Amino acid sequence: MSTRPLKLALVPLDERPVNTRYPEMIARMAGAELLLPPVEFRGEKRTPADRDLLVNWLREVASECTAAIVSCDYLAYGNLINARISTDSAAEVISRLSVLAELPIPVYAFSLITRVSNANDNVEEPIYWKDWGTKLYVFSALAHRSMMGAELDEHERRMFRTLSESLPAQEKSDWLVRRLRNHTVNLALIDLAAHNKIESLLLTSDDTASWGFPSRERTWLKGWTLLIPELNERVSMHPGADEVGSALVAKLINKEHGRRPSIWIDYAIDEDSARTAPYEDRPVSETILGQIRACGAEPAPSAVFADLILGVLTPSPSGKDYQQGFLAADRLTRTRPYRQLFDRLAKYQSSGKRVMLADVAYPNGADPLAMELLTKPESKLVLGNLAAYGAWNTAGNTLGVVIAQGVCSAFREDEISRHTAENIFLAHRFLEDWGYQTIVRREARNYADDQWGRLEPDPESPIEQAEICQFIERRLSEILIELQQLGVGAGLCLATGSTRLPWKRTFEVDFVLTSLAD
């Protein structure tokens, strides 16, 4: 095991906490130091980072770091949103990536296969997505199926013809040309990997599906790795986006310590491991294997020989985000399997195994049924002793962070510092994924509706932003007390005034947990 402190540079996907705070907290758990670009030029939302300053920063810190983890979307376009909306040419973008080959340290690069959002919402998309988003999504899926020779029924053929003729030519061309550019950039990154200019390349599919241009492009990219055997060790692909920084931090921490943890996967419902979770393009069992490898770990042949146990609440048959109507149906089929899983995980805990729990039953929040069962007095699973927990956003997002958190637990020799870092992150995950996403986010939107007649605070109003954040902070503080009664987050408190909405919307939240002893 290395005795020198590990220092890593991270060029994040964007400035949101999931891409900056999570990797930083995971590094802290293992006693590593993570350097991030200064806040002053990180960019925000649709405003890109200053790429010239970013390149200079990367060159400067490289001399003091062991390795660099680099989001090519951030380096090339300025952040994730600008990868979807900027008008830069492929030549301009590729030229910005040349710094990767110049750095004197290993580069672990990652890049996204651009999504096709299934919503008439342009917050993170080109302006015209507000009017044409869902139709472009359907067009993408039908075009892919048609190109692959899949049978379209009469309704689908008629819809495809209608969309082909009715979608505005200028907007459709703008969208497709940008996809062509982004695909070209990903090919250039594979070329860098083929010429050993970067240590590894992770190409992830952002909010994808089985049919659509993202899956089509992934197949093309995957084809090159199959044709060139040398690329198999350097290039990998799986669904995901916002968890990648955390996963690669875990991978490098494992590499530094000479470890490759083994993980036994225990599904709540075995047959549901073959389900494809919403926003993904493959069975959740394949997503899990991809995330395990991305974190520098490997699947275990059995629970006996595993370093960690990963309990998985498998995707709901509803195939949608959690809504109250789905819980009643799932309660009938899931209560018993959940109880059985939790009992098994409790036995693993009592035998000394480190246990992780990944809730991917629904996107964007914890399954209320699971939390109901876990908080019953008869539940034997000790939540405060979990090595990791997560239930946020897509299955890939959840699994990547849970596994990264789990494999980076129990690394630090300083027992007090390690316990504090692990305690804070575990409490953070429960408070955000269950407390906020499942409970408080809905309450905050109802509060906004009562106060201002709409479900979101005005992003341009500091008064409304402050008021909604005060409401959220008050409710999260109350839920933290509930968690502490369950053994999670002992000795912690929510830092007063730390709660904020990073993009001034209720979809995501940021807050700081601190130790009362500090």
Q: What is the pLDDT of residue 477?
A: 98
Residues 79, 219 within the same domain: yes
Q: Domain boundary at 256, 290, 321, which?
A: 256
Q: Give the domain extent around 88.
A: 7-116+179-256
pLDDT digits (tens, 9 = 90+) for 121-142: 999 999 999 999 999 999 999 9
165 in any annotated domain? no
Residues 207, 356 within the same domain: no
Are 262 and 292 contacting, i.e. CB atoms less than 8 angstroms apart? no
> In the predicted model, what is the mean pLDDT of residues 145-162?
92
Residues 108, 219 within the same domain: yes
> In the predicted model, what is the mean pLDDT of residues 255-282?
95
Residues 407, 270 within the same domain: yes
445 in any annotated domain? no
Residues 370, 291 within the same domain: yes
Residues 238, 280 within the same domain: no
Q: What is the pLDDT of residue 419?
A: 73
Residues 70, 184 within the same domain: yes
Angle (deg, nearest 10), helices 129-147 and 169-194? 60
Domain count, the chain: 3
Q: Domain boundary at 256, 287, 302, which?
A: 256
Query: How deeply is 227 buried, as exposed, middle or buried, from its count of CB atoms within 10 A (0-12, 13-18, 19+)?
Result: exposed
pLDDT digits (tens, 9 = 90+) for 52-65: 999 999 999 999 99
**Is it the case that residue 224 has pLDDT exceeding 60?**
yes
DSSP letter at 438?
I
Residues 241, 298 within the same domain: no
405 in any annotated domain? yes
Residues 14, 109 within the same domain: yes
Are 262 and 307 contacting, i.e. CB atoms less than 8 angstroms apart? yes
Residues 203, 308 within the same domain: no
**Is it the case that residue 31 has pLDDT exceeding 60?**
yes
**Least confident among 4-8, 36-40, 250-254, 456-460:** 4-8
Q: How confident is the model at residue 463 (pLDDT cuts 50, 70, 90)?
A: very high
Relative to beta strand 513-515, strand 492-494 is antiparallel
Q: How far apart are CA 128 and CA 171, in angstroms?
A: 7
**Is it the case that residue 323 has pLDDT exceeding 70?**
no
166 in any annotated domain? no
**Is it the case that residue 321 has pLDDT exceeding 90?**
no
**Is it the case that residue 1 has pLDDT exceeding 50?**
no
Q: What is the CATH number of the domain that holds 191?
A: 3.40.50
Q: Domain boundary at 224, 256, 288, which?
A: 256
Residues 407, 459 within the same domain: no
Q: What is the pLDDT of residue 230?
A: 87
pLDDT digits (tens, 9 = 90+) for 82-126: 999 999 999 999 999 999 999 999 999 999 999 999 999 999 999
Q: How far apart are CA 248 and CA 111, in angstroms?
A: 13
Residues 493, 400 within the same domain: no
Q: What is the mean pLDDT of the chain?
A: 94
pTM, two decimals, is 0.94
